Structure 1
Amino acid sequence: MNWIISILIITILILIYSRQRSKTKREQYLSKLRSGWGKPKETPQYNFDLISSYHLATLNNSAFQNISDTTNQDLDLDDVFTFLDRTSSAIGQQYLYHKLHCIKGQSEVRELDDSIDFFIKNEHERLQVQLLLSSLNHKNVYYYHSLFTSDNTITNNKLKLAYILNTCMLISLGLSFINLLWLLPVILIFCINLVFHYKNKYAQYDQLNATQYFKQIHHTINKLHAFKKLSKTVDFEKTKKATDKLKALYNLTHIFNSDNMFKDEISTLVWLPIEWIKIMLNIELISFQLFLNKAKNSKKELTEVFESIAKIDVSISIASLSINNMLSKPTFSTTKEILIENLAHPLIENCITNNIHLQNESLLLTGSNMAGKTTLIRALTLNAILAQTIGYVFATKYKAPFSQISTSIRITDNLNENTSYYLQEVKELKNFIDQSKKTEPQIFVLDEILKGTNTLERISSAYAILKYINTANAIVIVSTHDLELIDLLQTHNYSCQYLQESIINNELHFDYKLKQGKPESTNAIKILELNEFPKEVTNLAYKTKKMFS
C-alpha cells in the first residue's frame, strides 16, 4: 500500500513541477513579447522558399499586379520583409510576404485598419493572441496552405487495394482460429501492408506535413473566436461556420497523426502496438485518403481559416511596426501627381528625408556619385508598393495614383540566356514601352538608363525612350549621370532635380537633400584625387574634361 501512496505523491509532484515550469515559460515569453513590441525580430532565421510558397501557389491574373522578381531584387524586398515582419506564426509570415508582393485593389488597402487599431490600444488581448499564435511557429505549418492551394493527389486505386488487403486479412485471422496454418497468409499480408504503409508515408510526405498542425490550427481559430473584445472588431461569422464544417477533417487527423502524440520512451511502448494495428489494417492510409477527399471539397473553409488567422497576425505585425516608425496612411489620386513629404527608406537608420512633388510631370534625377540617387528612387518606389499593399508608408504624407510599378535598377548579365548587360536592359525597357500602352496608371523607375553602351547612342536612345513612355497616365522616375538629358527633357514634362555634395577640409560631404534644377558641379575626378591617384592621372583627367566642356 505504501508504494502506491509513494507513486501517487511522486506523480503529483511531477505534475506540479510540470505545471509551474509551463507557467514560468509562459511568463518569460510574455515578457519577451512586451520588450520586443515595436522592434524587429532578434536575429530571426528565414526560409524564403517556405515563406514564399503560399504567395507562389496563389499567383493569378486577377490581382492588379504581382510584384516581379526583377522588382523584388531591385528593391531588396526580402530585406524589407525581414524588417516589416513581427508576426508570431508561420501562417502570418506567409500572408505578410504575399501581401507585400501582391497589389490587389484600392478597396482592400484599408481592410486591416480596425484590427490594427485594436491591437495598438489593447495590450492584454494582443499579448494573449500573440501567445496563442506562437504555437503555429513551426516549419510544418508552412505546408498547411497546400491543402487548399494545390490539387492534392487522391489515389482511389490505393483505397481499393487497401480494402481488398483488409478483407483478406480479416478472413485469414478468422480462419486462423480454426487452423493455425492460416497465420501464414496473415504474416504475408502484414508484410505487404508494412511496405504499403511506409511507401505511402514517403510518397505523400509534403501532404502529411500539411496536416501535422491541422489540429493546432483548428484549436487556435476556436480560441480566437472566444476573445470577446476581439470578436467585436473582427468578424468571425464565416470562420465559425467553416470550423463547424471542418470537424470531420479534424477527427480524421487524430488517426494518421496520432504518432505525434508520443514523444518519450514510455509513450513509445503504447505507440508501438497501435502502429502495428494501423499497419495490419491500413488504417492510416485509408483515413489519410479520406482526409484528402474531404479536404478537396473543403477548400473554401480551409482558406477562410487560414486567412482569418493570417490577417490577425499581420495586423499585430503592422501595429508593432507603427510604434517606433514614422508611418502614415497614403491617399490615392486620379491625376498624374506625386506628393510625398518626409520620404524615408525603412532600412536606413536615421534616414535623411526628402519632399517630392510632381504635377503632370515625371522626375529626371541627376547628381554626383555617392550622393544618394539610387537610394532615393528605391525609397520612393518601395513606398509606392507599401502604400498599395500594407497600406502604410514611411513618410508623413503620401499622395499618388494607384499604379502598376515597373523597375530597372539592378541589371546584370544573364548567362543562362546568353544575354549581355545591355541586351538585358533593352529587354526590360521594351517591357516598359509595352506597359506604357496600358490604360492603368504606371510608375516606371530606371537607374542610370542605358549605361551599358557608348555615350552618344546612350543619350540619344535614352531621350527617345523617356519621351515615349512619359504618357498621360505614366510617371517616370529616372536617374542619370548624363546632364545632356536635362536640356533635352525639361521641355517634355520632366522635372529636373539633383543631389549635390560639398567639399569641406578636402573631404566630400553629402546632405542627401533633393534640389531643383541642374547640378552645379561633378565629383568623379575629385574622388580620384581624394583616393590618392597620381597627379599625372588627375591633371590629365581635368585637362581632357575641359576639351569636352
Structure 2
Amino acid sequence: MNWIISILIITILILIYSRQRSKTKREQYLTKLRSDWGKPKETTHYNFDLISSYHLATLNNSAFQNISDTTKQDLDLDDVFTFLDRTSSAIGQQYLYHKLHCIKGQSEVRELDDSIDLFIKDEHQRLQVQLLLSSLNHKNVYYYHSLFTSDNMITNNKLKLAYILNTCMLISLGLSFINLLWLLPVILIFCINLVLHYKNKYAQYDQLNATQYFKQVHHTINKLHAFKKLSKTVDFEKTKKATDKLKALYNLTHIFNSDNMFKDEISTLVWLPIEWIKIMLNIELISFQLFLKKAKNSKKELTEVFESIAKIDVSISIASISINNVLSKPTFSTTKEILIENLAHPLIENCITNNIHLQNESLLLTGSNMAGKTTLIRALTLNAILAQTIGYVFATKYKAPFSQISTSIRITDNLNENTSYYLQEVKELKNFIEQSKKTEPQIFVLDEILKGTNTLERISSAYAILKYINTANAIVIVSTHDLELIDLLQIHNYSCQYLQESIINNELHFDYKLKQGKPESTNAIKILELNEFPKEVTDLAYKTKKMFS
C-alpha cells in the first residue's frame, strides 16, 4: 500500500514540476517578445529555399506584377525581407516573402490595416497571438502549403497494388499455420512492401512533412477564432467552415506520423514492431494516399486556413516595424505624378531623407561620385514596391500611380549565356521598350545607363532610349554621370536634379540632399588628389579635362 502512495506522490510532484516548468518557459518567452517588440530578429540564418517555396509555388499571371529576379537583386530584397520579418511562424514568414515579391492590386493593399492597428494598441492581445503562432515555427511547417499548391501524386494503381499485396499477405499468413512453407511468400511480399513503403516516403517527402504539423496548424486557427478583438478585424467565417470540413483529415495523420512520437531507445522498441506491421500491410501507404485524396478535394479550405494565419502574423510584423520607424500609408494617383516627403531607405541607419516631386515629368539624376545617387534611386524604387505590397512606405508622404516596376541597376556579365555587360544591359533596355507600350502605368529605374560603351555612343543611345520610354503612362528614374544628357533631356519633360559633395579641409563631405538643376562641380580628379596620386597625373588630368570641355 505504501508503495502505491509513494508512486502517486512522485507522479503528482512530477506533474507539478512539469506544469511549473512550462509556466516559467512561457513567462520567459513573453518577456523576450516584449523586449524584441519593434526590433529586427536577431537570427542571421534564413533558409530562402524554404521561405520562398510558397511564393514560387503560387506564381501566376493573374497578379498585377511578380517582382523579377533582376529587380530582386537590384534592390537587395532578401536583405530588406530580413529587416521586415518580425513574424512568429513559418507560415507568416512565407506569406510576408510572397507579399513583398508579388504586386496584386490596389484593393488588397489596405486589407491588413485593422489587424495592424489592433496589435499596435493592444499589447496583451498581440502577445497571446504571438505565443500561439510560435508553435508553428518549425521547419516542417514550411512544407504545409504543398498540400494545396502541389499536384498530389495520387496513383490508383499504387493503391490497387497495395490492396492486392495485402490480400496475398493475409492468405499466406493464414496458410502458414497449416504449412510453414507459406512463410516464404510472406517474406517475399514483406520485401516488396518494404520497397513500396520507403519509396512512398521519399517520393512525397514535402507533403509527408506537411502532415507532421497538420493538426497543430488547425489547432492554432481554432484557438485564434476565440480571440474576440481579433475576430472584429479578421473575417473568420470562412476559416471556421474550412476547419469543420477538414476534420476528416485529422485521424488519418495519426497513422503515418506515429513514428514521430518515438524519439529514444526505449520507445524505439515499441515503434519497431509497429513499423513492421505498417510495412507488412501497407498501412502507411494506403492511409497517406487516402489523405492526399481528401486534401486534393479540400485545397480551397487548406488555402483559407493558411492565409488566415499568415495574414495575422504579417500584421504583427508590420505593426512591429512601425514602432521604431517612420511609416505612412501611400495614396495612388491616376496622373503622371510622384510626390514623396522624407523618403528613407529602411536598411540605412539614421538615413538622410529627401523630398521628390515630379509632375508630368521623369527624373534625371546626376552628381558626384559617392554622393548617393544609387542609394536614392534604390530607396525610391523600394518604397514604390512596399507601397503596392505591404501598403506602407518609409516616408511621411507618398503619392504615385499604381505601377508596374522595372529596374536596371546591378548589371553584370552573364558567363552562362556568354553575354557581355553591354549586351546584358541592352536586353534589359529592350524589355523597357516593350513595357513602355503597355497601357498600365510604368516606373522605369536605371542606374548609370549604358556605361559599358564609349562616351559618344553612350550619350546618343541613352538620349534616344530615355526620350522613347518617357511616355504619358511611364515615369523614368535614371542616374548618370553624363552631364550632356541634361541639355538633351530637360526639354523632353525630364526634371534634372543632382547630389553634390563639398570639400572641407581637403576632405570630401556629402549631405546626400537632392538639389534642382545641374551639378556645380565634379569630383573624380579631386578624389585622385585626396588619395595622393602624383601631381603630374592630376595636373595632366585637369589639363585634358579642360581641353575636352
**2:187 aligns to what?**
187
SS in 2 for 1:160: helix
SS in 2 for 1:325: coil
**2:90 aligns to what?**
90
SS in 2 for 1:154: coil
**2:227 aligns to what?**
227
User: Residue by residue, what CA displacement relative to the aligned partner does 1:228-275 show, whole Å, maximum 9, x if unpaired?
Assistant: 221122111101111111111122111111111222334333322322
User: Residue by residue, what CA displacement relative to the aligned partner does 1:148-207 show, whole Å, maximum 9, x if unpaired?
Assistant: 111111121111111111112222333344444444433333333223222221222222
Q: Conserved in 2, the CA contact under 8 Å of 1:363 and 1:494?
A: yes
Question: Displacement of 1:349 after TM fit?
Answer: 0.2
Question: Displacement of 1:497 after TM fit?
Answer: 0.4
SS in 1 for 2:492: coil
Give the TM-score of the pair, scaled to structure 2: 0.98
Sequence identity of aligned pairs in percent?
97
RMSD in angstroms over aligned alpha carbons? Answer: 1.2
1-structure distance, mates of 2:196, 2:12: 43
Tell me which moved more, 200-209 or 139-148.
Answer: 200-209
Question: Displacement of 1:39 after TM fit?
Answer: 0.5
Tell me which moved more, 254-263 or 1-10.
Answer: 1-10
Q: Mind listing any 5+ residue stretches in structure 1 that lack a counterpart?
A: none
Q: Mind listing any 5+ residue stretches in structure 2 that lack a counterpart?
A: none
User: Residue by residue, what CA displacement relative to the aligned partner does 1:306-360 show, whole Å, maximum 9, x if unpaired?
Assistant: 1001000000000111111000000000000000000000000000000000000
Question: Displacement of 1:419 after TM fit?
Answer: 0.8
2-structure distance, mates of 1:7, 1:131: 34
Q: Structure 1 residues 49, 185: closer, same or farther in 2, change over 3 A?
A: same
1-structure distance, mates of 2:44, 2:127: 20
**2:131 aligns to what?**
131
**1:417 aligns to what?**
417
SS in 2 for 1:341: strand
SS in 2 for 1:490: helix
2-structure distance, mates of 1:395, 1:77: 18
Q: Structure 1 residues 121, 498: closer, same or farther in 2, change over 3 A?
A: same
User: Residue by residue, what CA displacement relative to the aligned partner does 1:377-403 show, whole Å, maximum 9, x if unpaired?
Assistant: 000000000000000000000000000
Tell me which moved more, 144-153 or 340-349.
Answer: 144-153
Q: Structure 1 residues 8, 265: closer, same or farther in 2, change over 3 A?
A: farther
Tell me which moved more, 334-343 or 10-19.
Answer: 10-19
Q: Conserved in 2, the CA contact under 8 Å of 1:52 and 1:98?
A: yes
Tell me which moved more, 204-213 or 447-456.
Answer: 204-213
Q: Conserved in 2, the CA contact under 8 Å of 1:366 and 1:479?
A: yes
Question: Displacement of 1:210 after TM fit?
Answer: 1.9
Q: Conserved in 2, the CA contact under 8 Å of 1:346 and 1:394?
A: yes
User: Residue by residue, what CA displacement relative to the aligned partner does 1:490-518 show, whole Å, maximum 9, x if unpaired?
Assistant: 11100000000000001000000000000
User: Residue by residue, what CA displacement relative to the aligned partner does 1:44-83 show, whole Å, maximum 9, x if unpaired?
Assistant: 4201111111111111110000000000000000000000
1-structure distance, mates of 2:243, 2:301: 7
Tell me which moved more, 276-285 or 367-376.
Answer: 276-285
Question: Displacement of 1:124 after TM fit?
Answer: 0.9
2-structure distance, mates of 1:433, 1:195: 56
Q: Conserved in 2, the CA contact under 8 Å of 1:369 and 1:523?
A: yes
User: Residue by residue, what CA displacement relative to the aligned partner does 1:405-458 show, whole Å, maximum 9, x if unpaired?
Assistant: 000000000111111000111110010010000000000000010000000010
Question: Displacement of 1:278 after TM fit?
Answer: 1.3
Aligned residues: 549
Q: Conserved in 2, the CA contact under 8 Å of 1:218 and 1:250?
A: no
Tell me which moved more, 456-465 or 254-263.
Answer: 254-263
2-structure distance, mates of 1:500, 1:380: 18
1-structure distance, mates of 2:420, 2:542: 32
SS in 2 for 1:476: strand
